[in-house]
Amino acid sequence: MSASRHAYVTLVTNADYATGARALVNSLKLTATAADIVVMHTGGVEAAALAPLEALGARLVAAELLPTSDAFNRRHARERLHAAAPFTKGGKPAFHTPLDNFAKLRLWQLAAYERVVFIDADAIVLRNIDRLFGYPEFCAAPNVYESLADFHRMNSGVFVARPAQRTFAAMLERLDAPDAFWRRTDQTFLQSFFPDWHGLPVFYNMLQYVWFNLPALWDWRSVSVVHYQYEKPWQAGHDKADRLAPLIALWRAYHDGTAIPDIDALANPAAA
């Protein structure tokens, strides 16, 4: 039973993303939000990995993979998708299974809620963002992490939606059309399904590579969500760990629930 008409929703498809979700849920609770926190989970997650999230107060909702065709599944299997649309800007970890991403669409089945804000499990929230529940469907931030030229593309790591079974049914009909290929899985699909998407400020989904690619865009006074879109902060020894060390330390603090940095002090180190 939901306690609110609003919910933050994330998706956990394996034990690694359950690790990520622990930091996300901790971070949301620290914002003093009045909204529910929902963790959708697929059959690839064992109960032991979900238990810490439930202990933190998250509502667990089973969300199985979508009933897509065998041909669709083959086109979007990890090896075939990465061969057809390789990631050249950063590394996706071995536990990343592209086909699982489409289960995110099941949030439109959460009809108990008037509005939801979806946040990927590899993100943390630094300040209260409940205002997003007043935004219309469909809102998302741009996929900016290398160049300002990317403002025309959306990133599906954070978005505002209005659950409705009719929307979900329309999505399923469009998703598995003959020969459909969604280059960046749910992200490409959602941008196609909502071509007039409303742009959220980039600070609501600040992609980690902005830290070193576009440092002038990183403003701690404005950043609300940090999204670790490629290498994950719980991965040991990846090749960008040194460059991202401050952001990894920030994620670790939220995951462990201790020594959370003062974001205002980060924005003005001289005052710390």
For the chain, the average pLDDT equals: 91
Is the CB of residue 23 less than 8 Å from the CB of residue 124? yes
Domains and CATH numbers, the chain: 6-271 (3.90.550.10)
Collapsed DSSP state (helix, strand, coil) of residue 29: helix
Give the count of beta carbons closer than 10 Å to the beta carbon of residue 155: 24
Render pLDDT for 24-62 as a digit per residue (tens, 0 to 9).
Answer: 999 999 999 999 999 999 988 999 999 999 999 999 999
The amino acid at residue 130 is D
- pLDDT above 70 for 225: yes
**CA–CA separation, 155 vs 168, rounded Å?**
20
Q: pLDDT grade, residue 164 (50/70/90)? A: very high
